[in-house]
Every structure is written in C-alpha cells, then in structure tokens.
Amino acid sequence: MPVENIPDRGIRFLLSVASLTIIIYGINQAQSFLISFLVAVFFAVLGTPPVLWLEKKSVPNVIAVLIVITGMISILLIAGAIVGASISSFFKELPVYQAHFKERIADFQLFLANKGIHGVDKLFLAYFNPESVMSLTGRLFAGLGSALSDILLILLTVAFILIEASTFPVKLRTVLGHPRQGFPQFTKFVDDMERYVLIHTVFSLATGLLIGIWMFIIDMDFPVIWGFLAFLLNYVPNVGSIIAAVPAVLLAFVQFGMGSMILTVAGYLVINFILGNVLEVMFMGQSLDLSTLVVFLSLVFWGSLLGPVGMVLCIPLSMTLKFACENNDDTKWIAELLASEIPAKATATK
C-alpha cells in the first residue's frame, strides 16, 4: 500500500468514528420518538401480509388497512385488559410471596444446618428473592408500557405505512428514473426481514400459549403473566427464555415447593427446546447470517440505547445495519464482520 494513502485512510477512519458517535448521540436524544417509530414499523411488518391478502381479494387498499388496524386495536385492548389485570393482582400479592419465600428458605436453612452448612439463607435472600428478580420484569413492562403510551400515534403511523406499502416500489422506481428496474437485494432483505418477524412472532405466540397452559395445568398462580412474559421475552435472543423462566420458577418454589419448581423448569425446557431449537429452525429455513457474538453484542448495544424495545428488536435492527453496510463499498468489511459465515475470498486463500 502506498505510504501517501495512510494519512487519508486515518482521516477517513477518524471521520467515521466521529460520525458514528454523533449518530449514537442523536439516537439517544431522540429515543422516545425512535421507539414509537420502531414499534410502528414492527406492527406494520406484521400487518402487511393480511393487507396484501385482502387487496388480492379485491378489497380497496384503504378498507384493507382499516380492517387490519381495527383487528390490531381489538387484540391490543383484549390482551392489555387481561394481562394488565393479572400484573396488578400479582404485584398486590408480592409481599405475601416474599414472606412465603423467607419461610421456604428458613426450612431449607434448617435442613442444611442439620448437615453442618450455615449462612445459606442470607445468600438466597440477597440474590434470589422474588422482589429483586421481578424488578427486571417490572422495568420491562414499564418500558414497553411507555413505548405503547402513544398508541394512537403509533397506530396512525402503522396505517400510513400500510397504505404506502404496496405503492412504494413503484414510486421508488419512478424517482430513480427506471420504471421497470428491479431491486433484488432490497427485495430479498425485505422478504427476509418479513419472514423472520412473522415466523418468530408465530412461534413466540405458541411458546407463550403453551407456557400459560402448562402453568395452568400445574395450578400456578397468574398463568397469564407467565405466558405473556414467555411470548414477549422470546424475542430477546440467547437470554430471553431464561429471564422469562426465572420468576415463574421462583414462584413455583414459593407456592408449592421443590416438586412444582422442577415441573416448571421441565415445562420451560421442553417447550423452548421443541419450538425454538427444532420447529422454528425448520420453518425459518436459513440462518440470519449474524454471528453468535454479534447477536449477543447487539442485544447489549440496542438494549442500552433503546431500552426494552431495543432488546426485543435487536435482531431486525442488526439485520438492517448489516444490509446497509453490505451495499456500500467502504463499509462492506463491517458487514463481513457481522456475518456468521466466513467470506468466500477468505476461504479461497486458505
């Protein structure tokens, strides 16, 4: 590499770092707006297939959008009423569970004391009491609640996105001056994104439903909460299912003891393994082409930047970032770092 190109590359690198810092700062400052917009885009992705299906049945675009939006409002109202009532009742009962938990630990401490082991009660109450564990759950619900507080604005945004969805490719080709031009890379990206969101949502719903049914079968309190939490946190990669299981497992221990706790753990393991590791992989068909490390770091990065909504949407956001980097010669190396597969040219040099 010529020596004279080194300063130019250094300046470009510093400018890129400065630009990235400014963008991150801007995202942080516009967090509330961006969260509402991202939630609207997520709902729009879910609503696009039924809108397009209705249009194929000769339903006018505006009427199709109104039908889908009405369905979304109905689902949100029903789910919000049921889940909200369960959450309210749970937090009212939390002091009772706390007292029962201390009793369980006292019994467990007595058992261990007879075996010559002491101090376990302080360890359990410091790190495994229901109140501290459920604080994370409470923050998650609070963050999602604040994101949905502007629900009217979000649904209006969803409606406008859905109205424009079918005509946007035509408008884009007209603006670029190529009425018949195709956009294979962009089309593939949109299809992959839509496929991921829809399939993952269906399996998240199935996971939440089965967890709720299992909690009901073993007579756990508030099965609606545990089903909803399993559905919601199934969007969070790697750790979501574990976080969803911890409060339910602790409550099972408080409510019934060790036997019920083991049944709860078994139910979560079986349901999440079959749906998440077997069936969803079969239906997804192909990987997201994001390395495992990138998935974890994206969870931390988007979660710290956008809160619980960033954790839920970290995979779609990272897929979007990777697509943007792939289509720019100066940032292709970033896309290669994000990918799970080794680039072909690197493989050829081995």
Could you give the CA distance from residue 59 to residue 225 in angstroms, rounded to a whole number? Answer: 37
- Tell me, yes or no, whether 339 and 237 share the same domain: no
**Residue with structure tokens 């990065």?**
301
* Cβ contacts of 28 within 8 Å, gap of 6 or more: 305
Closest of 218, 320, 297, 292 to residue 259, by C-alpha: 218
pLDDT along the chain (350 residues), means of 10: 54 72 76 83 88 88 91 87 81 76 73 66 55 57 61 85 74 58 68 84 93 93 90 86 86 84 93 87 67 82 84 86 76 74 51
Give the Cα separation of 118 and 115 in Å (integer).
Answer: 9
Could you tell me if 38 and 161 lie in one domain? Answer: yes
Residue 185, burial from CB neighbour count under 10 angstroms (0-12, 13-18, 19+): exposed
Same domain, 89 and 125: yes
User: Which of 268, 286, 304 is a domain's end point?
Assistant: 286
In a domain, 181, yes or no: no
Identify whether residues 191 and 211 lie together within a single domain.
Answer: yes
211 shares a domain with 162:
no
Q: Do 267 and 231 have their domain in common?
A: yes
Q: Which structure tokens are listed for 306?
A: 């956008």
Q: Which of 324, 306, 310 is nearest to 26 (CA)?
A: 306
Question: What pTM, to 2 d.p., does this model score?
Answer: 0.77
- In 3D, which of 232, 234, 316, 346 has the Cα closest to residue 38? 316
Distance CA 176, CA 126 (A): 62
Residues 281 and 306 in one domain: no
User: Taking each helix axis from N to C terminus, what angle separates 61-113 and 223-233, rounded to the nearest 10 degrees?
Assistant: 110
| Same-domain pairing of 64 and 142 | yes
Q: Which long-range contacts (CB under 8 A, 24 or more apart) does 70-73 make?
A: 72/43, 72/47, 72/155, 72/158, 73/155
Contact call for residues 248 and 137 (beta carbons, < 8 A)? no
**Same domain assignment for residues 282 and 307:** no
pLDDT of residue 4: 47
Do 84 and 160 share a structural domain?
yes
In a domain, 3, yes or no: no
Same domain, 132 and 212: no
Domain with 202, as residue range(s), is 187-286
